[in-house]
Structure formats: structure tokens, C-alpha cells
Amino acid sequence: MVSRGKHKVARLKGLGVKYGATVRKRYGTIYRLLKKKRRCPKCGSVKFDRQVLGIWYCSKCNYKVAAGTYDVNFERAKSKY
Ligand SMILES: [Zn+2]
């Protein structure tokens, strides 16, 4: 049997064949960053997720924090403001 080799990253659904390769690649990078599993800095739960743009929320301990649009980077946020 011929081994085909595994895809390194899973293909994204949603954009299909539209918008061109560059835009789809960019979208994929951002989307994966956004949907990455994160731990809540307060209780350590993985229920930590973005609620709306810039608002990150833990549904377990109700911890809410303002951070980046697509990623939580507390170090960068602290140094910036
Ligand atoms: Zn929490």
C-alpha cells in the first residue's frame, strides 16, 4: 500500500475555493490562533474563550479580561497600556 503522508495541518472549512490562496492562508492562520485551546489564567480551565472582539471570558469562573482581538497576550497588553 502506498503511504500518502499525513496533512500537517487540517484543512479549514468555511471559505471553500473562494477569495484566493493568500487570503485563505491568512484566514487560516488567524482562525487557528483564535480557536486555539487556552487556559484561564485564574482557574486554569480550558473554557477560556473570546466572547466578543477584545473580550476574553472564562465560562467556568466568570473571569473576564480585555486583551487582543485574536489572541490573549497579557505581557504585551501590560507593556502597552
Ligand atoms: Zn476561569
pTM for the model = 0.69
- pLDDT bucket at 75, cuts 50 / 70 / 90: low
Q: Tens digits of per-residue pLDDT, 1-43?
A: 666 766 566 667 778 888 999 999 899 888 988 999 999 988 9
- Which pLDDT score, from 0 to 100, does residue 74 have? 62
Tell me the domains of the chain and their CATH numbers: 38-80 (2.20.25.30)
Give residue 56 CA to ligand 1 midpoint distance, Å: 10
Which pLDDT value is given to residue 55?
93
Residue 49 CA to ligand 1 center (angstroms) comes to: 10
C-beta of residue 73 within 8 angstroms of C-beta of residue 63: no
pLDDT band, very low/low/confident/very high, at 81 (cuts 50, 70, 90)? very low
Question: How far does the centroid of ligand 1 lie from the alpha carbon of residue 65, in Å?
Answer: 11
Is residue 27 within 8 Å of 15, Cβ to Cβ?
Answer: yes
DSSP letter at 32 equals H
